[in-house]
Amino acid sequence: MPTYTAPTKDLAFVLHDLLKIDQLDVPGYDELEPDFTSAILTEAGKLATEVLAPLNVVGDKEGCHLENGVVYTPTGFKAAFDQMREAGWTGLGCDPEHGGQGMPYVIGTAVGEMFNASNQAFVMYQGLTMGAYASIAAHGSDAQKAKFLPKMTTCEWTGTMNLTEPQCGTDLGLMRTKAIPQDDGSYKITGQKIFISAGDHDLSYNIIHLVLAKIAGGPDGIKGVSLFIVPKFMVDDDGSVGASNGVSVGSIEEKMGIHGNSTCVMNFDGATGYLLGEKHKGMRAMFTMMNHARLGVGLQGLGQAEVAYQNAVIYANERLQGRAVTGAQNPDGPADPLIVHPDIRRSLMDQKSFVEGARAFTLWAALMLDQSDRKQDGDAHGLLSLLTPVIKGFLTDQGYDMTVQAQQVFGGHGYIEEQGMSQFTRDARIAMIYEGANGVQALDLVGRKLASDGGKHVMAFFDLVKSFIKDNADNETLKVDFLDPLKSASKDLQAAAMYFMQAGMKNPNAALSGSNDFMHLFGHVCLGLMWAQMAKASTEALASGASDVTFYETKLATGRYYMARRLPATKMHLARIETGADTVMALAAENF
Amino acid sequence: MPTYTAPTKDLAFVLHDLLKIDQLDVPGYDELEPDFTSAILTEAGKLATEVLAPLNVVGDKEGCHLENGVVYTPTGFKAAFDQMREAGWTGLGCDPEHGGQGMPYVIGTAVGEMFNASNQAFVMYQGLTMGAYASIAAHGSDAQKAKFLPKMTTCEWTGTMNLTEPQCGTDLGLMRTKAIPQDDGSYKITGQKIFISAGDHDLSYNIIHLVLAKIAGGPDGIKGVSLFIVPKFMVDDDGSVGASNGVSVGSIEEKMGIHGNSTCVMNFDGATGYLLGEKHKGMRAMFTMMNHARLGVGLQGLGQAEVAYQNAVIYANERLQGRAVTGAQNPDGPADPLIVHPDIRRSLMDQKSFVEGARAFTLWAALMLDQSDRKQDGDAHGLLSLLTPVIKGFLTDQGYDMTVQAQQVFGGHGYIEEQGMSQFTRDARIAMIYEGANGVQALDLVGRKLASDGGKHVMAFFDLVKSFIKDNADNETLKVDFLDPLKSASKDLQAAAMYFMQAGMKNPNAALSGSNDFMHLFGHVCLGLMWAQMAKASTEALASGASDVTFYETKLATGRYYMARRLPATKMHLARIETGADTVMALAAENF
């Protein structure tokens, strides 16, 4: 069975050595001293390793089942969920006004990585709730907030997002679910939603569904979509839970992975719903949820890569097979461990340098979200908005690839379910799809975010890179191994952006044909920047006499690997991008 | 449910327009006129589409089960296997002396692609038999051949390969299975083998296991390994099947995919075995089987990519979602089909250009095998030997990626098992692992094949590329779109080989750290060469007034895509290779 070790030291390195959160002027950050964050990370790590991780395989094997209209989660999920709730983890980031702990997002992200790595299917029940919480918090009336948020903070009531229908996923304008206004101001919601994660289950008594539907008589297409709160059980004004609403589970989907999460077909038959936010502005309200959710999904890509990597390292050290080409390393044993072989190292370094780079990237993003939410920092908001599709798309594509690489280290044993490595790839696969398939992320990046506010945010990103390189130009340790490759990769990104501006003007297909490559190119530059910054932080720690020399030297060595071995991908992506749309769009549809 | 259409026209294009097999001087090729091959492809295509493909999902869902020591295959497998046997498909490539049809390997490969694409788990029962057949044919005594081969030709008796043990896969020197010589010249075999594909089942009465074991008292390590024929049921000299041998199934492995194939733990308890080939030369005898098998596994990578691609195309044409950025293409419908979107096209073109390039590559390899086997052509043998790890490693890595891309086209529907796309990725995953994990293929390529015979074969490959470019230098259609990129990619490959020669001399880790990149670099150059040759064949067909202009123009357009969009990967691989071992080998094992 796979194991999981909480990477608390690496998380602390990013929070304190790299981001120096305790020195930042962001409301709520003043208490984030190393001792304080260390206590949180340690406790969360315990829950992740001791409670959630052992249930990961159970969830995969048992899956959820539907019996007489009721969904049951795998053995042990309910007890673990109660434990998580009772220890206050569910409301970590929620508003103290609603009973939450009001922790900054940067802490929630550090904790979230560990929860996701240890049991993605499980933690989704809470994650979806927080998405619904965020939407109600942002768009709900005071009465709605008061009625729903305290119970959602504690996950006594969980939440869901109901967008997709059989005929529409990305293109929500095709939606058919109808909302019919009632005299009392409520609506009757009727329609079918599919792929509803945590749609029904036995972990909470009530479930607060957020449902997109079209108000009868409203505008066609996406402009006629509104968002509704549809509780599983009706909630009276005094907060007491009453009769069941017209919501039922059609079936549980059989999926490739995340079997521990109940993915439901949900039927709404004249269910009572309450408008959330403005009429016909449902997409806007939904996006509040989706942008948070996309960062969370990026974190899943990292989480699965991390846990898969940890297990690959253990196996590579234990499994004896063959001899090192340069001479036996374990001469007294029957063979050397796998880790002596260069191609196994290549694979492990791919994984390690990705995971640690992605960790820095997600925590930096979380910091920007805090700066945006807590300081109304428009620049942070804009840059994060630009990077959100990169975080979601790049980290989940790459995260998946890394789980495949980790599985590969196990040879035939990686293909056997008992070993647990298959689950990591099967679970990681969904992250490339939900919350907007990665092709949609790439489209969002190139078609919308890149040029938003006149390209201001991408310029800010380039400036950030440029300043970092300039400010550290005299640093001999960084120069050749980090700054030069970062500069070169960043130039590739600029060239690609320039190509889109010029060619895309004439033919939008020329830009969109390169959207996937651009997302990956951008992702590599971001991880290159993270590694250059981590290298700087490591040299500073070493210069200031840090006791754990090996830790910081390992960081530098891992970063050097990323810069030397992973960053060259930017040239390939640029070359592809610059070929434009001609070869991509050449065929008539019937000639495929 | 997914569908499969036999690509008979594309296969015929490669066989006749590209390879011109009917004009080649290879024994047995004289009858391979287009009419003849067309009849075979059509019939094989019918079996694949009408019988095998519908059973693919059944096999995945039901899997195999073990009941009272007997393995049962999924519903319908036995009837389909009988149908395949009775129509003579199993012995297509077998020697007429043993009842086979004596068809060249190039025909077996064309048929094999379709069988693998339609139902990989099913066709493995026959594939393994042919591996065992080849070993007995090459190394068996006349009596052994007479006893086993006729029944294996018809798959009345199937075969297996028993190599792996719990403690050893790649490193077979660690093997523990023992063979104790008996007075009658036979051996008693005792030990446990794992991951035995088609280890037991109900498709054939007898199963002829080829088992690697160490003769007690023989040399240590790999030099003490011998190969044995161990029938499930004893076979008398008159060919009649008698008592059961000491062979039993320990369990059926639960795997990520290919559920329709029974992957068994096999226990040998003093089972009677007959030495196949020479004592202690078991690895040599096994390699006869493994080289054929590696080509077959490369074909699986192609097959799964092909069937996944076909279904992605259907979905992309049917699923309405969004509008083309350049204006509605389906203005009367509620939305445009997915295929209008550039990133969907990019994905489909990645898949299409891979599949068609891989098809040419595998059939070219099959031709070389025929030249080697039927003409004792040492050059063909040497070049094929060099390319075998590329075919196995590159085609299965890329084939898997393509199934993931095809699945991605389906969005959320791709993650639901009912849709069938998940099975293609789960089934394709194994091909990267078995018959030597792809890291081992890369090691074989760089550590052994590249320099074999003084580098003669890789020089022959470069000469082939160079001559093709030179011979067609005046062809305006080919020049810019095909020859220039091929030249550039081939230079990258040469530079990488040169780097290995120079750096590898000083430090073998410097070469082996780049082995995976080299395998992929080599694969891209091979597919680039295939596309350049297919482009030439297409221009010739068009010039000679071929009626199906669209077919050949589509080939040219698909090839242009590969050259423009896929070949730039060679530069990235070269850049990675040239960084050598420093960053790969930097960390101490305990610092991962």
DSSP states of B312-335: HHHHHHH-B-S--TTS-SSTTSSS
A-interface mutation test, from B175, B326, B346, most A Cβ less than 10 A away: B346
**Closest C-alpha to A401, from A431, A381, A378, A374:** A431
Query: If pLDDT is split at 50, 70 and 90, which confidence band does B288 have?
Result: confident
Same domain, B129 and B263: no
Residues of B assigned a catalytic role: 435
The Cα B360–Cα B19 span in angstroms is 9
The structure's pTM equals 0.98
Would an 8 Å CB–CB cutoff place A430 in contact with chain B? Answer: yes
Q: How far is CA A548 from CA A337, A551, A553, B220, in A?
A: 26, 6, 9, 44
Taking a C-beta distance cutoff of 8 angstroms, is the pair A263, B418 a contact?
no
Would an 8 Å CB–CB cutoff place A289 in contact with chain B? Answer: no
The Cα B389–Cα B521 span in angstroms is 13
- The predicted pLDDT at position A288 comes to 74
Q: Is residue B328 in a domain?
A: no
pLDDT tens track for B506-552: 899 999 999 999 999 999 999 999 999 999 999 999 999 999 999 99
Query: Two tokens at B411?
Result: 């969005």
B206-215 and B178-181 beta bridge pairing: parallel
Which one of A257, A320, A439 has the shortest CB-CB distance to B344?
A439
Same domain, B91 and B202: no
Domain that holds residue B264: 157-281
Q: Where are the beta strands (DSSP E) in A163-306?
A: 178-181, 187-197, 206-215, 225-231, 233-235, 241-244, 247-252, 263-275
Same domain, B225 and B110: no
For residue A544, give every residue at least 6 positions away whose Cβ sits within 8 Å of its Cβ, in sequence order, or none.
none
The Cα A110–Cα A105 span in angstroms is 9
Are B437 and A195 within 8 A, CB to CB?
no
The Cα A134–Cα A168 span in angstroms is 24
Work out the angle at residue B555's Cα, subtended by the Cα atoms of residues B550 and B559, and round it to the nearest 5 degrees. 145
Q: Is residue B471 in a domain?
A: yes
For tokens 């992309």, what's the residue? B316
B178-181 and B70-72 beta bridge pairing: unpaired
Taking a C-beta distance cutoff of 8 angstroms, is the pair B526, B360 a contact?
no
The Cα B308–Cα B301 span in angstroms is 11
Number of residues that this document lists for chain B: 592
Mean pLDDT of B211-219: 94
Taking a C-beta distance cutoff of 8 angstroms, is the pair B401, B351 a contact?
no
pLDDT tens track for A127-147: 999 999 999 999 999 999 999
pLDDT tens track for B147-174: 999 999 999 999 999 999 999 999 999 9
Query: If pLDDT is split at 50, 70 and 90, which confidence band does B578 have?
Result: very high
- The predicted pLDDT at position A284 comes to 84
Same domain, B518 and B579: yes
The Cα A208–Cα A90 span in angstroms is 15
Q: Is residue A340 in a domain?
A: no
Q: What is the largest CA-CA distance in chain B?
A: 83
Are A422 and B256 within 8 A, CB to CB?
yes
Considering B78, B105, B136, which residue would you say is the last residue of a domain? B136
> 10 Å Cβ neighbour count for A248?
16
Quote the distance between the C-alpha of residue A308 and its chain's center. 16
The Cα A376–Cα A360 span in angstroms is 23
What is chain A's mean pLDDT, rounded? 97
Taking a C-beta distance cutoff of 8 angstroms, is the pair B255, A418 a contact?
no
- The predicted pLDDT at position B504 comes to 84
- The predicted pLDDT at position A59 comes to 98
Residues of A assigned a catalytic role: 435
Q: Which residues of B touch A356 (CB under 8 A)?
A: none
Quote the distance between the C-alpha of residue B135 and its chain's center. 18
Considering B241, B256, B281, which residue would you say is the last residue of a domain? B281
Query: If pLDDT is split at 50, 70 and 90, which confidence band does B287 have?
Result: confident
Nearest CA in chain B to A584: B346
Query: If pLDDT is split at 50, 70 and 90, which confidence band does A290 have?
Result: confident
> 10 Å Cβ neighbour count for B271?
27
| 3 state DSSP class of A99 | coil
**Closest C-alpha to A247, from A279, A270, A275, A264:** A270
HSE-up (13 A, CA, CB side) for residue B140? 19
Q: Where are the beta strands (DSSP E) in A319-456?
A: none
Handedness of CA B469, B470, B472, B478 (dihedral sign): positive
Query: If pLDDT is split at 50, 70 and 90, which confidence band does B286 have?
Result: confident
Q: Which residues of A touch B480 (CB under 8 A)?
A: none
**Closest C-alpha to A470, from A453, A490, A447:** A490
Would an 8 Å CB–CB cutoff place A320 in contact with chain B? Answer: yes
Query: If pLDDT is split at 50, 70 and 90, which confidence band does A292 have?
Result: confident
Same domain, B196 and B117: no
Quote the distance between the C-alpha of residue A280 and its chain's center. 28
The Cα of B258 is separated from the nearest Cα of chain A by a number of Å equal to: 10
> Quick one: what percent of chain A has pLDDT higher than 70?
100
The Cα A278–Cα A276 span in angstroms is 7
What is chain B's mean pLDDT, rounded? 97
Same domain, B122 and B247: no
Q: Where are the beta strands (DSSP E) in B23-148?
A: 65-67, 70-72
pLDDT tens track for A447-506: 999 999 999 999 999 999 999 999 999 999 999 999 999 999 999 999 999 999 998 889
Same domain, A504 and A578: yes
Query: If pLDDT is split at 50, 70 and 90, which confidence band does A408 have?
Result: very high
- Please count the structural domains in chain A: 3
Which one of B404, B418, B584 has the shortest CB-CB distance to A342?
B584
Same domain, B502 and B591: yes
Same domain, A497 and A578: yes
Nearest CA in chain B to A166: B413
Max avg pLDDT among A281-290, B236-245, B557-566 = B557-566
Q: Is residue A445 in a domain?
A: no
Taking a C-beta distance cutoff of 8 angstroms, is the pair A426, A120 a contact?
no
B70-72 and B65-67 beta bridge pairing: antiparallel
Query: Two tokens at A368?
Result: 């920007």
- The predicted pLDDT at position A346 comes to 98
Same domain, B217 and B128: no
Lowest pLDDT segment from A427-431, B285-289, B497-501:
B285-289
Mean pLDDT of A194-200: 97
| 3 state DSSP class of B536 | helix
B233-235 and B206-215 beta bridge pairing: unpaired
Same domain, A106 and A31: yes
Would an 8 Å CB–CB cutoff place B338 in contact with chain A? Answer: no
Number of residues that this document lists for chain A: 592
Mean pLDDT of A336-363: 98
Are A171 and B320 within 8 A, CB to CB?
yes
Q: Is residue A419 in a domain?
A: no
- The predicted pLDDT at position A286 comes to 83
Q: Is residue A350 in a domain?
A: no
- The predicted pLDDT at position B476 comes to 93
Taking a C-beta distance cutoff of 8 angstroms, is the pair A328, A422 a contact?
no
The Cα B300–Cα B295 span in angstroms is 9
Q: Is residue A360 in a domain?
A: no
Residue B430 has pLDDT above 90, yes or no: yes
Query: Two tokens at A574?
Result: 């640029």
For residue A418, give every residue at least 6 positions away whose Cβ sits within 8 Å of its Cβ, in sequence order, or none.
B253, B254
pLDDT tens track for B301-334: 999 999 999 999 999 999 999 999 999 999 999 9
Work out the angle at residue A176's Cα, subtended by the Cα atoms of residues A170 and A182, and round it to the nearest 5 degrees. 130
- The predicted pLDDT at position B290 comes to 81
Q: Which run of H or of E encompasses B65? A: strand B65-67
The Cα of B155 is separated from the nearest Cα of chain A by a number of Å equal to: 26
Residue B253 has pLDDT above 90, yes or no: yes
Would an 8 Å CB–CB cutoff place A314 in contact with chain B? Answer: no
Please report the ipTM that was assigned to this predicted complex: 0.98
Q: Which residues of B touch A589 (CB under 8 A)?
A: 317, 337, 339-340
CATH of the domain at A122: 1.10.540.10
HSE-up (13 A, CA, CB side) for residue B508? 12
Taking a C-beta distance cutoff of 8 angstroms, is the pair A562, A359 a contact?
no
CATH of the domain at B246: 2.40.110.20
The Cα B233–Cα B244 span in angstroms is 4
Query: If pLDDT is split at 50, 70 and 90, which confidence band does B257 have?
Result: very high
DSSP-derived secondary structure for B330-351: STTSSS-BGGGSHHHHHHHHHH
Are B169 and A412 within 8 A, CB to CB?
yes
How many helices (DSSP H) and strands (DSSP E) are in chain B?
19, 11
Same domain, B95 and B170: no
- What's A207-240 look like in SS3? EEEEEEEEECCCCCHHHHEEEEEEECEEECCCCC
Considering A281, A311, A338, which residue would you say is the last residue of a domain? A281
Residue B289 has pLDDT above 80, yes or no: no
For residue A434, give every residue at least 6 positions away whose Cβ sits within 8 Å of its Cβ, in sequence order, or none.
A195, A197, A297, B412
Q: Is residue A112 in a domain?
A: yes
For tokens 């003007």, what's the residue? A505
Which A-chain residues 185-214 have CB contacts (< 8 A) with chain B? 194-195
Q: What does R_g of chain A's alpha carbons equal in angstroms?
A: 24
